[in-house]
Structures are given as C-alpha cells and as structure tokens.
Structure 1
Amino acid sequence: MAQLTPIAFAAIISLFPIYVVVRAIADPLRKVPGPFWARFSRLWYLREVYNGAFEKRSLQLHEKYGPIVRIAPNEYSIDDPTAVKTIYGLGTKFYKSPWYIASGNPDPEHLDLFTERDPTKHALMRRKVAGLYSASSLVRMEPFVDECVGLFVQRLNEVAATGRSINVQHWMQCYAFDVIGYITLSKRFGFLDRCEDAPGMFTSLHSYLKYASRVGVFSEVHSIASKLLAKLGSGGMSHMTNFVGAQLQDRQQRLAEKEGGGTDDDFMSKVLAQHKADPEKFTFNDVFTTCITNIGAGSDTTSISLSAVMYYLIRNPDVLDKLRKEVDEKLPPGSTVENFSFQDAQKLPYLQACIKEALRVHPATGLPLGRVVPSGGAEIMGVLFPAGTVVGINTWVAHANKEVFGLDAASYRPERWLINDKQQLSRMEGYYIPFGHGSRTCIGKNISLLEISKLVPILVHRFNFNLVRPEEALKCQNVWFVKQTNIECRVSLR
C-alpha cells in the first residue's frame, strides 16, 4: 500500500480550507441562517456543547435566527410542532444521527435501545422487552418504590432534626438509583443508607455523559477514543459496566441459591427467564444491555425531573399551597399519604399538572434529538432537506414555543394543563416531548413517572424545603442531561 508522502500530505492540508469554503458555497441549504462558523465546521457545535449550556444557547439561536437554525455544516435545529411527526412519528424512515454512536459500545454487535440507530433493528429489540415496561407491570414494581420512599423519608427526618442542608439533585439521584436497582435486581445499591455515592457511580455516570455528548459531535473518533480510555483504565462507562456486571453476577448467584423455591419479581429474573427459554432469540447480551440501560439511564433522568418538580414548587409557594391542599383533601379518613398508590396519585389532577409543567420547563435532555433525513429528502417548513442531512428538535426549544404554550411559556404555571380547551391541550400535548416521541419514546417513561408520582405527595405533605441561597438563579450543566447543580435546601417538618 502506497504511503502518503510529506508533500502530498501538505497539499491535502493546504487544500482542505478551500474544500470547506467551496462546500459551504455549493450547499443547497446555504440560505438557512445560523452562526457564521457553524457553516464551515462542527467545531463550533463542539465548543458550545463543551461549554455545558447548550439548552440556553439553543433558545438564543432560535430567538435570533427563527425556526430553522444551522448548528453544523450538515445539521439543523428545528422549532416546528408539525415537524414532530415528520421526524419522530411512528413509521418514519428517519433514523438516529451519528451523534448517538458515542453513547454506546463501539462494537456494533453490542448496541442497546438507545444507541441502535436502525429503526427496524430497534423495533425488534424493543419488542423483546416492551412488556417489562408496560403500565400493567408497574403494579409489581410499586412495592420496590414504596420501600425506597420510606427510607428516603427516614433520611429526611434525620436531616430535619439536625438543620443541615442537602443537595436536592444528589439526594434525588440516591433515591432514583436505589429504586432502579431494586426494580432491576431486587437489591438496593445502598445509596439511601447514608445518601452518599460510596461506589463513585454518580461521578462515573457524569464522566460517561460528558464523553458521549462531546465525542458524539465527532463520532468518527469514538472507536479509537473508547479503546484508548479503556487501556488507560478511565472511569466513566467502564466503571459502570464493571459495577453492573458485578451486580448481575450477585443476582444470578442469589437466583441459583433459590432454584426450585421461586424467584423475585424483578427485571433480571424475567430477562433471564426469556434467555433460558430461547437463548438465540434473547441472548445474554440482551440480558446485560437491558439491565445496564435501566441502571444507567434510569437514575439521572428521574433525579433531574424530581429536582425540577421540587425546585419549581419551592419557587412558587402559591402552587405548593394548592398542591398541599389537594393532597390533604384526598386523604381518606384515618389514612396517611404513605398509603397513596400510584393509581391514587394519577387521580390528583393538580399533582399531575405540577409534574407535567416541571418536565416542560426543565426537560431532562438538552441537545437536539438528531435524526438523519432518509432517501428522497424531506420537506420541513417549506425547506427541502436532502437525504443525509441531520435535523433535530431540542426539547428545551419545543417546550418554550410561545405559539404553542402561550406568551408565558417561560413561566412555571401548572394551570395551563387544566384548561377545558381541548384544541389547545392537543396542541400542547403534540409538542410536549420530555420522553421523546414515537417509536423512540423512552421505554422507561412509566417507571420514571411512578417514582415521581409516589414521592412528591409525601415530600410536600411531610416537609418544608427552603433554599439556602434563594437570591441565586438556578445553575445547570448540560452533558446531554441538564443537571441542576445548586439546589441546596434546608429541610424541616411541617
């Protein structure tokens, strides 16, 4: 194989800028507005993602440039309610953008529901496990949640007695991690014992998300970068994989010891049963990816959403008072809020409106949900996007759309979901995408809503939360998930 000579290499380097400029000039979408440097390179987008506030940057871009904004030479951010079905609807031929590659195993044989880009393969994978996440399965999961809620309340009682402050997002992640561990493996991971991250899992998960969000912009380097990090013994995904692997091994051992005596009603028991029934159809890799997806994705998103609910309730005492009144009035005589079932919580309209509004104002994901335009191209808002173009809607942008959610879209107002205008409700529902949309809707949505709906009524009924620095605006770091970093509260008993 002929080697590239220094002269040839220098010629390629010198000609590259000319190629970039010519490509920009010849681009059929060159009239689509956006930041100047985004027209020539993905480096602009990488810098903005690296800065950790792309959800805010996206809002600024659409405010300045309109509903279609270029964020890279071949990538566009869209703000259009009618585009949701086009891009993400059931049966669409759009497939996930290369950004998702960096979130998964570089080996294409070991992809999961999140990182499998091909719609057909994804559908097959989802069908294997969809029943485990169905609404009817929540009944069996509820006792797991109840135990973790009880332990969480116990920890808060202890804190209330001392007067010390807590980091709300951290505590919510301890709760969410233990719940998903219990649901998946019939075993809490112990985060709620002292509300500490003893194994360092939160740090590793955050490291993984930083890597995935940034490397995803230049996903071509993922294969090399991930192998290099593995050799260096870096934390992140390798730490998570080892942690989950050890938990799975422990669960298998416990199942083996109980053979003949029944098994616990958790995810791993069910997926192992599927594997045992048909190991070719449901491989052990399917077992592992189901469990690690639960644990990896199920804690951050739920903790961010729970933190959002509590933050906006604290910031809006009139809303909090109305919610407390609803909870108090719905308590049966002689009962306690701890006896509320998930079904009971779903029947509290103001509670559900408070939750829904918090997930609208602060959705967990903060980067565009990128999709590749299929063969034949696609028309969005009168613009023809050629096949291979990447388009996507940022949930933060969608949820801030004033034409859909009203001129006060930036405000937290649960009442917007309790109106009698069916047409307006339908418009809002159509552009409400905190869990994604269509066939790619988050498969763990029901579990997350179960955890949130069970915990919030108890928190508002039992405790007062006061911000340590109420004059300080909310701070976040966007690493794909938009994590709150400064919700410090003192807790007291009501």
Structure 2
Amino acid sequence: MATSLSLLVSLWPVVIGLWVLYTISVAIHRRYFHPLSSIPGPSFNAISYLPILYQQGILEGQLLHALERWHAQYGPIIRISPNEIHLSSPEYYETIYSNALKTGFYKDPAFYGPMEGPIKVPVMLTIISNEQHRVRRMGMNPFFSRKSVLGLEQIVRDKTEKLIGMAEQNLSRKGGEFDAHRATRALTVDIITEYAYAKSWNYMDLPDWGEGYQEAIRAVQTFFPWLQTFPSLLPVFGLVPDWVMVKLYPHFGKWFGSLEVVQQSVAEVKREIALGIKPARRTIFHELLDPEPVETEKNLAPRQKLPDAVVFADAVNVTGAGVETTGATICRALYEVLDSPEIAQKLREELKTALPDPFDVQAMSLIELEKLPYLTGVIKETLRLSPGVPGHLPRVVPSSGATFEGYTLTPGTVVSMSAWSMHHNTELFPDPDKFDPTRWTDPDVDAVHAREKSLVSFGRGTRNCIGQNLAMCELYYSVASVIRRWDDLKVHSDFGREDVKLVEFLLSYHPKKARKLRLVRT
C-alpha cells in the first residue's frame, strides 16, 4: 500500500509535466498551424476560449464593446476564439443569417445548447437545424403576425392607458417621480401575458412592479457564459434544488412562481381541448397544443402538435424574451427624447398635430402612428442604439465552406456578426454614438435604404424575432403616449448617459451599477 502511494506521488510531476506539454502543444497548434491562424486578432484569443469568458462572465457582458475595440485595431475580420471569427461588414449578414435556409449556415450547438439548461428541451431559439426551426415556427407565425397584432391592438392600447394613469398619479404629487425603468418592464409583462395567455399577470398592480421576475431572467442569463465554456457543469447545475436557488438569490422565487403559472395554463388548456370547450380567444397554448391547419398556396396543411414540455418551454421563452428587450428600448427612447429639448420639441409638435387630445390614448392607432415620420425615426434610432440582442450570434460554416474578406473558412468554423457592430458602422452611421432621428428621414432615399438594410435589431430572415410586430406596437404606443401627455417632463437629474451603456448576456441589459430611469416634471 505504502509502495503504491509513494509511486503515485512520484508520478505527479510526470503527469503535470505531460499536461503542461500537451497544453503548450495545443496552444502552438492553434496559434500557428490552425486553419484560422492567418486571421488577425488578439493572440490569446487564438489559443483559448477564456478571453470570451473573461469579457462575458467576469466583466459581465462586455464582449460587444471588446469586439468594437478589436475591429478598430485588427480590421473587419478578426479571430475571437480558437475556432470563431467575427465580421463587422454588413454585406455578409444576408449570407450568414438572412438566407441561412439556402446558404446552410446553422446555429452553433456549443453556444445555444447550454441555453436549454439541464432539461435539454429545445425551444425555438435553440433549435440548431434551420429546417426543423422552420417547421416549429410555422405554428406560431400566425399568432404573432401583423394581422394578429392589429386584431389585438386594444390590449396594447388599454395597458398603455393604464401606464399613463399610474404615471399621472405619481407625477401629480409634489416632488413626485415616475419609475420608468420598472414600470415599462411591468407594462411589457402585462401586455405579452394578456396577448399570449389571455390572462395578464398584472405586474403594474404590484408595489414592486414585479421586479423580481425581470431580475431573475437576467440572473439566469449570467450563467450562460460559464455553461458555454464549461458545458460539463450543466448536469451539476440541474441538481441544485429550487429552494437553494431561492435562498441564494431571492428573485428566483418570482421566476419559479411564473413557471408554475405557465404549467397551470398548459394543463388548463389541455383540459379544455379534451372537453371540446371552445375558447373565447385562442392563446399561444391552443396554437401549440391544438394547432389549426395553416393555409398554403395550394391547400390547408396540418401543423405540428408539440409535447407539453416543449409547449411549456416555448411559452416561457416567448414571455421572457419580450420583457427586458422591449422595456429597455422604451426607456432608451424616453431618455434620448427628453434629454434633448430640440428632439422633444420636434416630436411633440408632430404628435400634437396627429393627436390633438393628450389625454386620449384610446384615440391612437398603430397604423396612424406609423405614418408619423419623426416618431418612426425616433423609434428606429432607438432600436439602432438599443437592440434587444446586440452581441455576437455564432453560426457554423456548412460543408461547402465559405470565404469572407479574402479568407477561406473550412466547414465547421464558427463565424459570427453582431447588431452592435453593424449599427455602429461609421460609413452608414456617421458619429454612430449620437442619437439622431433624422438619419431615417434623410431625403437621400438610397442612404436611408442602406441604413434600414443594416438595421437588424430584430434579426432578419426566417430566424428573426417572432415578436417584433408586437414589440413595435408597444414602442409606438408607449413613446407617443408619454411624450404627448406631458410638455414639462424631464429625466431625473441623477440619471445620465453612462446609465444607458449596454452589456449583453444574449439579451441586452445595463451594468449592475447603472441607475434606473426616473422621470419628473419641471
């Protein structure tokens, strides 16, 4: 026994030495002999995945800003990890993303797989196959179509009116202020749950505006960089009991509560379907559990029925994805408009012409709001500076290979682009950090078209954001209502431009130290 132990101890230096030699040999291969070795970029990125983890996990969501710095230093194509390159030129977006069904680029399993969590239930976001995604999405496309949004526009109208009423109560008091940060997130929760579930969660009625739900969604996403770098942690993560998670992070209580509500809704709709009960209005659960045939060019085609676990996961995903993204964009629009007296005055003048009564939210309609050029410019410019998913979205080069910026990429190489890089392209958007709605009202039609083609806040192609029609409706209503209602509204003095800086964990957020947007009257 003693001999075996001493032998084991004596072998440790050999084991460590072999590990060091192996690590050095891998690093040398990746840096000098890998197919991507000729592509410029930070040296350490070429040999390790740790720089990405450092930006995303340690610095918390700073990769989009690092990419901007690296492109400025190394050019339009950079190597950001041993097997991934990042492109900044908008011309490649169509090939990699918009036309992926034809070109064959597909989502990187190493990036999207861990987002499914330990249960490994693929939601629309994480399905790797473009064709499988197309079939799955076909079931929900009609539910979130422009036609459906216009048909249920009254939901957005009523919830926005409620928001304005609550803001009025707060602002009418002496020294009163309106917590726009939490209120807009509560607004988006109440809209998406009423729209998708036919049963609003009524977060606007809660004293804390349901803040725990949004904070829990953010907390879940902060795990992604660690699980993407160390996927073996996934099973361990799944073993942690819910009560331990709540103990460590109390906001998870609101998150787990929301999951129970969704599970109950799935069970309730299944019971109604079994009993043949016709709903007053079909919900997202009806669309997934009991889909109606979809009309094609030739006939009615049957749609895919999904297992309960998939229905549950997709419903949770749709709700969570539409809260922080839209709420943050509304806040950014309000900040940018109210921070500039010139922009605020110009927008108010346009709104006063279209909406004579500042108190009448019910008189608004999306179709009429969309006809207002300056309001549309404000919303597009906000989406440029505050996209819901600003960071890199990795895709895998198909078997045919690909060539970008003169470099040939072998099949299996990971390539990515980001909305943040495209939206800060100085050729298309001079002085890109400036908020300028006139970029979208420019008389140069060709210039505006080029900018619109590079505006990918919701993505583009068959894998774009399914909820963009609803999100745009919310943006138009909320921004128009708030700016039209008060002529003397301003941003609280403790909030500044440093507080709108973006970080990302797939979805966009603000740094933890950022202050929350509050509005006051002068």
Tell me the TM-score normalized by structure 1: 0.90
The equivalent position to 1:224 in structure 2, one of 216, 222, 235, is 235
SS in 2 for 1:200: helix
Instruction: Please name the residue that 1:396 is paired with.
Output: 420
1:434-460 alpha-carbon deviations (Å, 9 max, x no partner): 111212111111111111111111100
Q: 1:280 to 1:183 in 2, by over 3 A?
A: closer
Q: 1:47 to 1:333 in 2, by over 3 A?
A: closer
Instruction: Please name the residue that 2:129 is paired with.
Output: 118
SS in 1 for 2:391: coil
The equivalent position to 1:411 in structure 2, one of 429, 434, 439, is 434
Task: Describe how 1:210-359 pairs up with structure 2 within 5 A.
Answer: 210-216=222-228, 218=229, 220-221=231-232, 223-230=234-241, 233-234=244-245, 240=255, 243-250=258-265, 253=268, 260=277, 262-274=279-291, 281-331=305-355, 336-359=360-383
Q: Distance in 1 between matches of 2:357 and 2:203?
A: 34
1:135-162 alpha-carbon deviations (Å, 9 max, x no partner): 1011232122122112211221121023
Instruction: Please name the residue that 2:202 is paired with.
Output: 190
Q: Distance in 2 between matches of 1:355 and 1:66?
A: 30
1:449-493 alpha-carbon deviations (Å, 9 max, x no partner): 111111111100113132322556234443222223324323339
| Letter aligned with residue 28 of structure 1 | P
Q: Distance in 2 between matches of 1:127 and 1:219?
A: 34
| Letter aligned with residue 458 of structure 2 | F
| Letter aligned with residue 450 of structure 1 | C
SS in 2 for 1:440: coil
CA contact (8 A) 2:395 2:415 kept: yes
SS in 2 for 1:482: strand
Instruction: Please name the residue that 2:139 is paired with.
Output: 128
Q: 1:231 to 1:483 in 2, by over 3 A?
A: closer
What is the CA-CA distance between 1:401 and the residue it aligns to? 0.3
| Letter aligned with residue 158 of structure 2 | E
Task: Report which of the two structures shows the higher radius of gyration computed on alpha carbons.
Answer: 2
Q: Distance in 1 between matches of 2:64 and 2:358?
A: 46
Q: Distance in 1 between matches of 2:397 and 2:51?
A: 22
Q: Distance in 2 between matches of 1:187 and 1:435?
A: 26
Q: Distance in 1 between matches of 2:181 and 2:225?
A: 20
Q: 1:490 to 1:335 in 2, by over 3 A?
A: closer
| Letter aligned with residue 29 of structure 1 | L
Q: 1:472 to 1:293 in 2, by over 3 A?
A: closer
| Letter aligned with residue 505 of structure 2 | V
The equivalent position to 2:213 in structure 1, one of 201, 223, 227, is 201
Q: Any gaps of 5 or more consecutive residues in structure 1?
A: none
Q: Distance in 1 between matches of 2:358 and 2:380?
A: 30
Q: 1:455 to 1:259 in 2, by over 3 A?
A: farther
What is the CA-CA distance between 1:262 and the residue it aligns to? 4.0
| Letter aligned with residue 97 of structure 2 | Y
Q: Distance in 2 between matches of 1:41 and 1:400?
A: 27
| Letter aligned with residue 138 of structure 1 | V
CA contact (8 A) 1:374 1:388 kept: yes
Instruction: Please name the residue that 2:475 is paired with.
Output: 452
| Letter aligned with residue 315 of structure 1 | D
Q: Distance in 2 between matches of 1:458 and 1:20?
A: 57
Q: 1:333 to 1:16 in 2, by over 3 A?
A: closer
Q: 1:331 to 1:197 in 2, by over 3 A?
A: closer
What is the CA-CA distance between 1:22 and the residue it aligns to? 2.3
Instruction: Please name the residue that 2:94 is paired with.
Output: 85
What is the CA-CA distance between 1:365 and the residue it aligns to? 2.0
Q: Please tell me the root mean square deviation across aligned C-alpha atoms, in Å.
A: 2.9
| Letter aligned with residue 160 of structure 1 | L
What is the CA-CA distance between 1:252 and the residue it aligns to? 5.0
Equivalent pairs: percent with the same residue?
23
1:195-234 alpha-carbon deviations (Å, 9 max, x no partner): 5255821221111111124423x16335324324457742
1:47-93 alpha-carbon deviations (Å, 9 max, x no partner): 01121222222221211211112211111121011110111122221
Q: How many residues align?
A: 486
Mean CA deviation greater in 111-120 or 414-423 = 414-423
Q: 1:56 to 1:165 in 2, by over 3 A?
A: farther
Q: Any gaps of 5 or more consecutive residues in structure 2?
A: 1-7, 295-301
The equivalent position to 1:96 in structure 2, one of 107, 123, 134, is 107
Q: 1:424 to 1:476 in 2, by over 3 A?
A: closer
| Letter aligned with residue 111 of structure 2 | W
Instruction: Please name the residue that 2:447 is paired with.
Output: 424
Instruction: Please name the residue that 1:55 is paired with.
Output: 64
SS in 2 for 1:82: helix
Q: Distance in 2 between matches of 1:180 and 1:300?
A: 12
Q: Distance in 2 between matches of 1:413 and 1:199?
A: 31
Q: 1:198 to 1:86 in 2, by over 3 A?
A: closer
What is the CA-CA distance between 1:177 and the residue it aligns to? 1.0
Instruction: Please name the residue that 2:32 is paired with.
Output: 25
Matched, 1:466 2:491: yes
CA contact (8 A) 1:58 1:394 kept: no
The equivalent position to 2:78 in structure 1, one of 53, 69, 74, is 69
| Letter aligned with residue 459 of structure 1 | V
Q: 1:198 to 1:425 in 2, by over 3 A?
A: closer
CA contact (8 A) 2:495 2:516 kept: no
